[in-house]
Chains A and B, each alone.
Chain A
Amino acid sequence: MALLQIAEPGLSAAPHQHRLAVGIDLGTTNSLVATVRNGISSVLNDIHGCSLLPSVVRYAADGSIQVGHVAQAVQSDDPHNTIVSVKRFMGRGLKDVGEVGNLPYRFVDAPGMLQLRTVAGAKSPVEVSAEILKVLRERAELSLGGELVGAVITVPAYFDDAQRQATKDAAKLAGLNVLRLLNEPTAAAIAYGLDNAAEGVYAVYDLGGGTFDISILRLSKGVFEVLSTNGDSALGGDDFDRRIYCWILEQATLSALSAHDTRLLLTHARVAKEQLTEYPETQVTAVLGSGELVDLTLTREVFYELSQNLVQRTLQATRRALRDAKLGAQDIKGVVMVGGSTRMPQVQLAVGEFFGQTPLNNLDPDKVVALGAAIQANVLAGNRSSDDWLLLDVIPLSLGIETMGGLVEKIIPRNSTIPSARAQEFTTYKDGQTAMSIHVVQGERELVSDCRSLAKFELRGIPPMVAGSARIRVTFQVDADGLLSVSARETGSGKEASIVVKPSYGLSDEDITRMLQDSTQHARDDMLARALREQQTEAAQLLEAVDNALCQDGDALLDASAQARIRSGMDALRTVLEGSDHQAIKRAVEALNQATTEFAQRRMDQSVKHALAGHKLSELE
């Protein structure tokens, strides 16, 4: 049955300028940037021809910052100031990070998210990640020869709201316009599925440097529908390294190491792990700061045993994901392996045995996520009509609120397709009560104390009434990035007051501005120039979109005077667009958005009617 073909809203058939957009895999161990050129997604290399950028940032005493291989090379010499695997700290407080004792950092406990003390001052994980993103942005702009319209940044599917918000903030800090936060396994499925024209239910097993995700997806006629996802945002290759590290300490009877020795042995542990992918045994040889020599032989068998329960933990999460999808291992048509840590033979063996089939390794597990993100970025930037494919993702962890006795009432269950919203009515329990507090948490456990606290906020200004007669309607909205926003309105008195609540750990726009100003690489002039360019780009896009919309539907949906109002808004915007006052452009953009709201609504109603028109035709046949 053929559906009626209609053009994508706002996209004309006319060719337009190619907008530069990239996909970025911000990994625990390595990060990459990819883009679609001439219809093909490819990873962008640095000037030395390297595609992987080690996610390592070093702060030097003179204020300079090194990122990547150069920082990695000196990590043992300058362990306090060289931040490795910062992704593990994103959106995390000190108490969330269990293994602080094993890490060579000077942590600072800060509200919401920990910080790391370096020679250049205390740094938030958001700032450290932003340094990695800046390098990738510069690499892309150099290689593509222009400024980026935006980027799709990937996050582990099992990242909670705090971790997602931190990632988005890091991108903003790096001067990137975030088109979408995309789940890593879903990105891999896009790259894999579009390459292989796959159909059926697939599992994506993604074991990275610091995170593990398992997603179950149904691929059907270009629709990527995530059925369930599970994982552990603190389980990855680093943990395998740490098992070897602890084994070294035990075998060589070492204790109380310096930061330098800790970093040195962690590095040797990682090398040993990689060696064991190729060889049945490897030698660990290191000279400590004291001159003491460590010389040990590690065999595959011993390593398998050391890491056995890590592999088991990934399979437990896999079982949970299958159960949520109401499927068994036998229903899975293929298992796509993603993440450098899936190279370990014991992982391949265990996954193969679990699913009763050989896992699929045809795409480079280090690159597949970035490649998929680039494909999505190309669509979101408007370069390609996405009529032929659609991505439906889910929220990984349930959202709930605290009720009496410290219990959690689930508001949006895990694995709900996003965007998703749910409204809940609350009332007062005392006469004359004018405020109430609401505590939003994320997690699957029954007790608030076992879940992650996302936000606590107070609703004030409730008109004093008899207990139980106020009606407060609180709406929880999860957007397509998996990010939560909360709004509330009092409806009992007929008076409507609406507020929007942002989770407490998110950076405010002022914070971001301050961080940008703090950063020595951003002079104030640069910032103003950038703000102006961004505003101009947005305005030009808006004009193009409205113009196309008017051409398509103006006559059909609007009368002459309504069209004239929109056109005058467009003229007003065009007039200020050439100037250098970014505030004036912003105001004109807002005015035009306002003027086109009703039109947008009618176009949407029309699209929805068209969506099912094909079925009506088929019923006539």
Chain B
Amino acid sequence: MLSVGADFQQDFFHLFNLPARFQIDTAQLEQNFRSLQAQVHPDKFSHLSEAERRLSMQWATRVNEGYQTLRDPLHRARYLLARQGVDTQEETNTAMPVEFLMQQMEWREALEEAKQAKDAMALEEMERRMQNETRILHQQLAIDLDDTRDYDAASGIVRKLKFLERLAEEIGSAFDELDT
């Protein structure tokens, strides 16, 4: 394996020339992603030396990873918390507010019903509600991470978002099953 320079290890926010905040300019992120890939993508190096081709693949991989991390709000929040040395305890901390758990159970039941009934309309309605709920949690994350710097509260929201993400995945597979 090739040893890599200090720049290669740099922070994703630094790599994309963005302030390390939850609220970011996504248009700027996209634009910087493209500018970076335009420099490092393997297509630009295919006729060059092996050393350069290998470096290019490592860099392009890194830029893709950074883009995926910063583009997705949940990944971005996790990354910001990890930078602060905060463990989000997604595997270990299962203590959730009662009302959130109740709501989860309600949604799961509704999902099962919609799956049984092959009810696409109900699934779409669920998806909309989930997206709405996710948006509200993102707004709260912005406050906790960027303004009050309440990392415990932010970790709690990350754990909630992970629940929602799983549910969204299941709604996705329910749609897939409708098709087959």
Contact = CB atoms under 8 A, between A and B. Distances in A.
Interface of A: 3, 8-10, 19, 179-180, 223, 316, 319-320, 323, 376, 379-382, 386-387, 390-392, 416-421, 444, 477, 479-480, 487, 498, 541-542, 545-546, 592-594, 596-597, 600-605, 607-612, 614-616
Question: Closest 10 interchain pairs by CB?
Answer: A382-B47, A316-B179, A380-B46, A480-B42, A607-B39, A611-B39, A600-B51, A597-B51, A600-B52, A612-B17
A327 B148 CA distance: 34
Contacts of B175: 319-320, 323
B44 A421 contact: no
B82 interface: no
Given A612-B17, A615-B17, A600 B49 contact: yes
A570 to B, nearest CB: 11
Contacts of B92: none
B179 A601 contact: no
Contacts of B57: 419, 477, 479-480
29 contacts: A3-B35, A9-B45, A10-B47, A10-B52, A320-B176, A379-B43, A382-B46, A390-B38, A416-B68, A419-B42, A419-B57, A419-B61, A480-B43, A498-B1, A593-B50, A597-B2, A600-B49, A601-B55, A603-B52, A604-B40, A604-B52, A604-B59, A605-B7, A605-B8, A607-B39, A611-B39, A612-B32, A612-B35, A615-B17
Contact of A421 (B2, B35, B46, B61): B61
A356 B56 CA distance: 42
B34 interface: yes
A10 B1 CA distance: 23
B98 interface: no
B104 interface: no
Given A390-B37, A480-B60, A612-B17, A323 B172 contact: yes
B37 A616 contact: no
Contacts of A387: 38
B65 A420 contact: yes
A9 B44 contact: yes
B41 interface: yes
Contacts of A320: 175-176, 179
Contacts of A223: 34
A546 B48 CA distance: 8
- Chain B's interface size range is 35 or more
A286 to B, nearest CB: 36
Given A420-B65, A610-B39, A386 B44 contact: yes
Contacts of B85: none
Given A600-B52, A601-B4, A417 B43 contact: no
Contacts of B139: none
Given A9-B48, A417-B68, A604 B38 contact: no
Q: Is the interface of B mostly helix, strand, loop or mixed?
A: helix
A421 B49 contact: no
A380 B179 CA distance: 40
Contact of B60 (A10, A419, A615): A419
A417 B67 contact: yes
B68 to A, nearest CB: 7
Interface of B: 1-2, 4-5, 7-8, 15-17, 28, 31-32, 34-52, 55-57, 59-61, 64-65, 67-68, 172, 175-176, 179-180
Contacts of B15: 608
B173 to A, nearest CB: 8
A608 B40 contact: yes
A593 B68 contact: no
A506 B171 CA distance: 36
B68 A545 contact: no
B49 A316 contact: no
Contacts of A418: 64
Given A10-B45, A380-B47, A600-B55, A607 B5 contact: no
- Chain A CB within 10 A, most for which of B1, B61, B65: B61
A574 to B, nearest CB: 15
Contact of B43 (A380, A444, A487, A605): A380
A180 B43 contact: yes
Contacts of A610: 39
B48 to A, nearest CB: 5
A376 to B, nearest CB: 8
A419 B64 contact: yes
Contacts of B31: 615
Contacts of B28: 615
- Chain B CB within 10 A, most for which of A179, A593, A603: A593
A604 B46 contact: no
B5 A602 contact: yes
B38 A611 contact: yes
Contact of B35 (A379, A477, A596, A614): A614
B163 to A, nearest CB: 18
B180 A316 contact: yes
A180 B52 contact: no
A519 to B, nearest CB: 28
Nearest to B35: A611
Contacts of A603: 52
B49 A542 contact: yes
Contacts of A498: 1
B7 A593 contact: no
Contact of B37 (A392, A479, A545): A392
Contacts of A10: 45, 47-48, 52
A323 B55 CA distance: 34
B25 to A, nearest CB: 11
A10 B53 CA distance: 11
Contacts of B49: 542, 545-546, 592-593, 596, 600
